[in-house]
């Protein structure tokens, strides 16, 4: 049985980013209604050695734009990582969603055996496309989306599992 690399990557990441966007919108409203400085939530973290909400969103979007680009044989677009407000984080997610929307199945399907080379922390890793997607990108992407959700939930934003999952068809 073959797998569609497009179906395994683009639609689920679009869904997760759309849901993350909605969660961030709720967080912004929560901060406004409770008269909380939005920076408190944007810089919140679950534990001192973990990245704050801001960085969780940045990494999730980097994973999404990176995987589709690399599997399609393109250079991922670079984002400056200068966001510091909810509107800027929402704009980053919107930019990533727009980017993912331009990809077509034929650009990604067939990339299962494509070699993807990634340098992380001064180490070079070589993956086959299918292992890059399933063993590295998707777990990493969902880790950061889930952690962003958890930071906001832990901070008192009124969100639940359905916000994370989004509307079911």
- Tell me the CATH class for 5-165: mainly alpha
The whole-number pLDDT of residue 86 equals 98
Position 147 confidence tier, pLDDT thresholds 50, 70, 90: very high
| Mean pLDDT rounded to a whole number for the chain | 96
Burial category of 95 from C-beta neighbours within 10 Å (exposed 0-12, middle 13-18, buried 19 and up): middle
Position 55 confidence tier, pLDDT thresholds 50, 70, 90: very high
Half-sphere exposure of 57 (CA within 13 A, CB side): 37
18-37 pLDDT, tens digit each: 999 999 999 999 999 999 99
119-139 pLDDT, tens digit each: 888 999 999 999 999 999 999
């Amino acid at each position: 049985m073959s797998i569609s690399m497009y179906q395994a990557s683009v639609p689920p990441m679009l869904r997760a980013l759309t849901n993350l966007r909605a969660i961030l919108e709720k967080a912004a409203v929560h901060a406004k209604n409770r008269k909380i400085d939005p920076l408190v939530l944007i810089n919140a973290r679950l534990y001192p050695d973990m990245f704050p909400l801001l960085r969780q969103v940045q990494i999730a979007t980097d994973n999404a734009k990176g995987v589709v680009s690399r599997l399609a044989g393109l250079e991922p677009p670079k984002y400056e990582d200068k966001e510091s407000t909810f509107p800027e984080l929402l704009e980053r997610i919107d930019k990533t969603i727009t980017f993912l929307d331009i990809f077509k199945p034929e650009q990604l399907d067939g990339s299962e055996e494509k070699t993807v080379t990634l340098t992380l922390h001064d180490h070079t890793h070589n993956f086959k496309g299918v292992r890059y997607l399933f063993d590295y990108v998707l777990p990493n992407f969902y880790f950061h989306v889930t952690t962003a959700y958890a930071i906001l939930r832990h901070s008192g934003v009124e969100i639940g599992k359905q916000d994370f999952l989004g509307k079911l068809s």
